[in-house]
Amino acid sequence: MDSQSQMLKGLLEGCILSIICEKEVYGYELSEKLHEAGLTMVKEGSIYPVLLRLQKNGWIEGTIKPSVAGPDRKYYRLTVKGEQALQAFDDSWEQLSRAIAYLRGSLR
């Protein structure tokens, strides 16, 4: 595993929470949104272990709904606990990116 994907692993949870916070999505839709955002290095399938972990934490909930196209789809929605987790993620990301920006600015 290269350093980029190591770093990505921790951030993927936060990215997924952000997307689900916007609107309820199902798996394929979620992977497309990640791709559109530029996270092209994320393999589509790798969202599912993350989704399972987020459900286990009680941060998201899934509901099965029939779709217009035919198949049943499992839509994910953020829970109250999930909103708090996303807030915590935002805060630590803010702090981290400020620190990195400061270090890069002062070292150059």
Partner 1 sequence: MNIKQMIVQNNERRKLLEPHNLAAYEDALVYIRLNGRSEHSTESILLELLEHLIEAQRHGKTAKDVFGDDLRAYCDSLVAAIPHQSKLSWVFDILRYISILLGSLFAVHTVFQLLADFFPTLRVEQISLVPHLVIIGLGAIEIFVLLVAMRAFVFGRNSGFILAGVTNLAAIAVYVIATVLFRDVWAVPVHFWSFLAVTLLMFGMAHLFKRISGRMNQTTASF
Shortest Å distance, C-beta 11 to partner 1 = 17
- 3-state SS string for the chain: CCHHHHHHHHHHHHHHHHHHHHCCEEHHHHHHHHHHCCCCCCCHHHHHHHHHHHHHCCCEEEEEEECCCCCEEEEEEECHHHHHHHHHHHHHHHHHHHHHHHHHHHHC
Nearer to partner 1, 1 or 107 (CB): 1
Shortest Å distance, C-beta 19 to partner 1 = 16
Question: Which residues of this protein are in contact with partner 1, per CB under 8 A?
Answer: 27-28, 31, 43-46, 48-50, 52-53, 55-56, 61-64, 71-74
Nearer to partner 1, 64 or 80 (CB): 64
Nearer to partner 1, 10 or 105 (CB): 10
Shortest Å distance, C-beta 27 to partner 1 = 5
Pull the structure tokens for residue 99.
């620190």
